[in-house]
Structure 1
Amino acid sequence: MKKVFITSEIKTVHGGLTASLLNKARILSQEMNEEILILTFNFDANYPDVIENIRERYQLDNRVKIINMNQHYCRKLSNNHQVKRAIFDASALVNGRPSGKKLTYYENDKLRVKRSVIDNRVLQDEFFTDSKRLYEKWIYDTDGCIAMRSFYQEGSTKVHRQIIYRPDGKAIIERLFEKDKIQKLRLFQEDDNIRNFESIEAFKTAFILEEIVKTEPTIIVSETRSQDRLLLDMKQSYIKKSFL
């Protein structure tokens, strides 16, 4: 029987619940020889680096697999495709005075781009209108590829749309927001078909059932209360549920 833990996210800096989950996974794999899947649902452009750090800190062996929903679809649909580095070319703009880890770029004395940099690596670019309104943000992965673009509502600092990309520059997931919450999603498939989801919960459910469980007998453990409803709504007879 498959053993799956679901949690919202795993970050390098995390609290006691995440630590407890990772320690459980380590004990089950090393002392009981169990294969464990941990599923997460957040977006992080640097997720592979985060997970490598986590595996080392918690001494997780190969029987523990950590799979992020967004990374899964990007990897699944990116076989045999070339990496496309696409950091915004700001060479035509005037470089302003650096401020900490921020660089600013101007055109005709108007702010156009704010760039976040750490250890000489570009993390993200924020783009501004003539009136200094943030209208778009690009987030880059460790290879310098666009991992996500966020689009902001006019006259507001709220995101209304995001697109997640695979390393070759192809859009994979589109997320539409309302009142700061993801309301609808679209999955762009390899055959150019588009699959629509009416909620983030529907998208998570499809990911778990179609990509992970695949009708195999599975016990799914919910580690955070925010994921309980997702699990409760699964009525498949081959799924057993546990809430910790």
Structure 2
Amino acid sequence: MKEKITIFCLLNSLDLQRGGLTKASLMQANTFASLGYKTFILTFNFNQRYNTIIEQMVTMGKIDSRIQILNMYQSLGEFDYSSIVPQPMMEIEKSKANGAILDPHIGQPHSYRVYENGMYTKYFRLDENKRLFFMDHFNEQRYRVKREDYDEYGYARKVSYMDYERNKPRQMVFYNDTGEAFLSKWVNPQNGLAFRVNLFKDGKLKRIFSNDNELKGYWLEQVTSSYENPVIISDARICDSLVINLKSEQAVKIWRLHSNHLDMKGEIASTVATAFDNLQEFDVALALTNQQKKDIEDRFGTKDNLKAIPHAADQFTEYNWFAPVKKENLAVVVTRFAAIKRIDHIILAFKHVVDRVPAARLELWGYGDEEKNLKSLIRSENLTANVKVMGFTQNPAEPYQRSLFSVMASKTEGFPLSIFESMSNGSPIVTYDFKYGPGDLIDNGEDGWIVPNEDIQALAEKMIWMFENKKEAIKMGKKAVKKVKENFNLDLYAKQWDEVIEEAVKKKMAHYIQQ
């Protein structure tokens, strides 16, 4: 049966620094490949460095080499990186040869302003390999008139023509390996949305679309229509409408929920509203926990297509229960630096911790928009000696294994993968009580601590307890590893997915035959 099924995992984008949703989606795709399914990951954004990004992710073991990655722009442009000839790296030399003056942009590595006979004409940036990344062009009034985006081989892949007043694109043109345009967009500079998309083929205007979503839907149909039993999984909310509107009668449509479905007012979150309004269009809708599945059914009634598959841990720290374990006097946070994660609560709680345990340390691992605010808060609370912002890590197991425990204070989650990563690496969690995750996995006082939501003092007290009762904290970590290993391992995860896919395909085939 597997050889007749092709799985398409839909994500808007892929990159080396991404959060839990991307990690979870890659775990799914890797699991499908290991089970023997022909597996694709489809992405829809423009990124001129995709080829290098994917190569690095495969080399790092983030993506199974059996998975095929297709990007909409590379596919429509028929990019062929197997035979492409890199362009020479000459931008600096060429500019100087033409008599231009280069002014390095302080604070922006490999970035230069270009002056020609006193006139500011260009601004360009090179990548880490000194190849051209982008170039901006300016007119005599110092308006930016266009930006050229280059791939890692020195080829211009996109040119954006700017609106003078707003300095935003009005028209974008995309180019193939030979420099021929295969796509252009007319863009509203006020909102960045395309209102006309032109697809070219063999020197002719092939199709016209009224927006980007129509183009994405067209490409999705083209990619999936040639497969007998396509299974299409929407992991990113930007892809939900594409799957809903897919016309294929044979396609199995699966919706994978990665977050809490409610906003802070208890209403259906705007990000998932489209999917909930069209829940019947999916052959399978997947929640992350049985509690979330129950909450959805309490609100909408029993749904035959609603199921739950939790995350899984893909590696475990092996402990000898009786052997001593070395742990630093350290707590860690590994997450995206976003307001919804409430890392500021953790920092404020740690102020109380340091008052009682002066040697206690906290490391914040991640990236995001809140980084500047977090660093400012650390300084204002005089915690620079105890709290460090460490940056993004490709190997979260390392800080977890060094730490005595980890901390979470999110407003809301679907079922954060970081819970599994922490517990499976022997780092029990001190966390607020929020939906969904802590209550589904942690036995309070046995393999972690759950404190009342928004209670900063309670969060601090449990952290203090962990530092002051180090041996007990280490025992908690061992129990956490044991629980996750027994109940949330990859074998169980793969079995659940296998059953869901096989059942959904059989139902779809039976329905299709009846038609």
Match of 1:54 in 2: 57
- Out of 78, 81, 84, the residue aligned to residue 75 of structure 1 is 78
Relative to structure 1, the CA distance from residue 22 to residue 112 in structure 2 (aligned partners, 3 Å threshold; closer, same or farther) is: same
Cα distance in 2, alignment partners of residues 193 and 150 from structure 1: 20
5+ residue gaps, structure 1, are: none
> Is 2:103 the partner of 1:97?
yes
Whole-angstrom CA distance in 2 between matches of 1:229 and 1:153? 30
Instruction: State the alpha-carbon separation in 2 of the partners of residues 98 and 80 from structure 1.
Output: 34
1:9–1:25 CA distance, 2 compared to 1 (3 A):
same
Q: Which runs of 5+ in 2 are unaligned?
A: 257-515
Q: Give the aligned length.
A: 242
Question: Identity percentage over the alignment?
Answer: 20
Instruction: Report the CA distance between 1:93 and its aligned residue.
Output: 4.7
Counterpart contact for 1:175–1:183, Cα < 8 Å: yes
2:167 is aligned with 1:160: no
Change (3 A) 1:69 1:92: same
Per-residue deviation, 1:228: 0.8
Separation in structure 1 between the aligned mates of residue 121 and residue 141 of structure 2, nearest angstrom: 10
Residue range with higher mean Cα deviation, 78-87 or 35-44: 78-87
Matches within 5 A, 1:162-177: 162-177=172-187
Aligned partners of 1:193 and 1:184: how far apart in 2? 13
Task: Using the TM superposition, give the Cα deviation of residue 96 of structure 1 relative to its aligned residue in structure 2, in angstroms.
Answer: 2.7
**In structure 2, what is the Cα distance between the partners aligned to 1:80 and 1:193?**
27
The within-5 A match list for 1:86-235 is 90=95, 91-99=97-105, 100-118=109-127, 119-178=129-188, 179-190=191-202, 192-214=204-226, 216-235=228-247
1:22 match: 26
Give the letter for the 2:53 counterpart: V
CA offset digits 1:197-217 (Å, max 9, x no partner):
112111111111123333632
State the distance in 1 between where 2:201 and 2:170 align.
22
Considering fraction of residues, name the structure with more helix. 2
Distance in 1 (CA, whole Å) between partners of 2:65 and 2:101 is 46
Structure of higher CA gyration radius: 2
Q: Secondary structure at the match of 1:235?
A: coil
Question: How far 1:107 sits from its partner (Å)?
Answer: 2.3
Measure, in 2, the Cα distance between the counterparts of 1:34 and 1:103.
48
Please tell me whether the aligned partners of residues 184 and 198 of structure 2 are also in contact (alpha carbons under 8 angstroms). Answer: yes
TM-score (normalised: structure 1): 0.90
In the TM superposition, what whole-angstrom CA distance separates every residue of 1:83-114 from its partner, at most 9, and x where no partner exists? 69598753435223212421121123121001
The amino acid of 2:112's aligned partner reads: L
* Displacement after TM superposition at 1:183 (Å): 2.3
Structure with a larger share of its residues in strand: 1
Normalising to structure 2: TM-score of the pair? 0.44
Task: Indicate how the Cα distance of structure 1 residues 195 and 79 shifts in structure 2: closer, same or farther if over 3 A, else same.
Answer: farther
Note if 1:238 corresponds to 2:250.
Answer: yes
Deviation of 1:128 after TM superposition, in Å, equals 0.8
